[in-house]
Amino acid sequence: MQILLIIPRYNLTNKANYQYVFPLGLGYISSVLKKAGYSVDCLNLNHFNGKIEDLITRRLNTKKYNFVCTGHIGIGYAIVEKIINIIRSHDSQPKVIFGGPLVTSEPKLIFENLKPDFAILGEGESKVVLEAVANEPFIVDKIATKERKKSAAPPFITSKLQQASKMPVKRTMMIAQQLYEGIELPDDGSVGLITYMRTDSTRVSSQAIEDVRTHIAQVFGDDYLPKTPNTFRAKTGAQDAHEAIRPTSMRYDPETVKEHLTREQYSLYRMIWNRFVASQMPPARFDDTTVDIGAGLYTFRVKGSVLKFKGWMAAHDLNAEENATEGEWPEK
């Protein structure tokens, strides 16, 4: 199928108006059509002198086009109307699209097959679209729902811990060093709560995996325990000299040791704990719904998502996270 894209002449003294000629971008429209298997030619009337009637007629005489795309009415109704009348008066009488209010419902059929994903890139494009659909009925064309899964992230490595922490990098590493070297706990003395905090590996020992799976089954139930442990691909170039950053023992959950930690120690330890526990839980599941609403030549898309199974997200209790800064901590 042959398609001709025509760009009307615009006022060279006000190039800002150019966005109204092809609000979606000529290059983008052309690429979408070509990817869909159409043969596309372009005619930019700004590059030629002479009467537009002669230019357009000459091009239409060289090849038989099925569709001719012209600019949006936003640049000037009279200009585009003139171009459309020239096209329609030609012997081949190709169908016209992107002609604003003059367009029939026929072009919509071709673009439904192409399924282009047009984006509104700025205020100018938005105004053009709003004007075009102002008097059009809005009709729900399609509703689609599908399940989406989101898997848990691996346990922390050093760089990811620094990114996730709300503290500066230097402060984060200092607090992590304190958790690693040891915290004084009643009856247990000085206890290192986390593994070595400088690592580029997501590897975890088999004993730690076994312990956290037992913890998940006891705290969250069997529905939150995968049949087999989750594994994570090693980062390319990782030295893998140390394990991922994780709690040294599932005995010391954050709430149990909270009263022996400073605010910063508790916040960082809780983040490391939750990340490790979540890494061995099943994916969260969502129902994603997409609604396409047609209005004239345009299609508006609305997306929504509903959580149907928390999975690993259950390990990240948002209320508890919010309350992590409340209460009182002993000065240390």
Nearest alpha-carbon partner for 102 in 92, 119, 112, 87: 87
Contacts of 121 (CB under 8 A, 6+ apart): 25
Helix, coil or strand: residue 97: strand
- Asked about 269 being catalytic, the answer comes back as no
Residue with tokens 């529905």: 223
Per annotation, catalytic residue among 65, 77, 196, 252: 196
Q: Strands 284-295 and 139-150, how do they pair?
A: antiparallel
Cβ atoms 309, 284 nearer than 8 A? yes
Closest alpha carbon to 285 in 251, 310, 321, 322: 310
Length of the chain (residues): 332
CB 202 within 8 A of CB 232: yes
Report how far residue 90's alpha carbon sits from residue 57's, in angstroms, rounded to the nearest whole number: 7
Which whole-number Å values give the CA distances from 140 to 143, 161, 245, 291, in the listed order? 8, 45, 49, 7
Dihedral angle of Cα 222, 228, 234, 239, to the nearest 10 degrees = 90
Placement of tokens 């209460």 in the chain? 327
| Closest residue by Cα to residue 9 from 26, 21, 24, 25 | 21
CA distances from 111 to 98, 230, 238 (A): 11, 43, 47
Please name the helix (run of DSSP H) or strand (run of DSSP E) that holds residue 112, with its range, or none.
helix 106-114
Q: Pairing relation of β-strands 2-7 and 183-185? A: unpaired
Would you name the residues annotated as active-site residues? Answer: 196
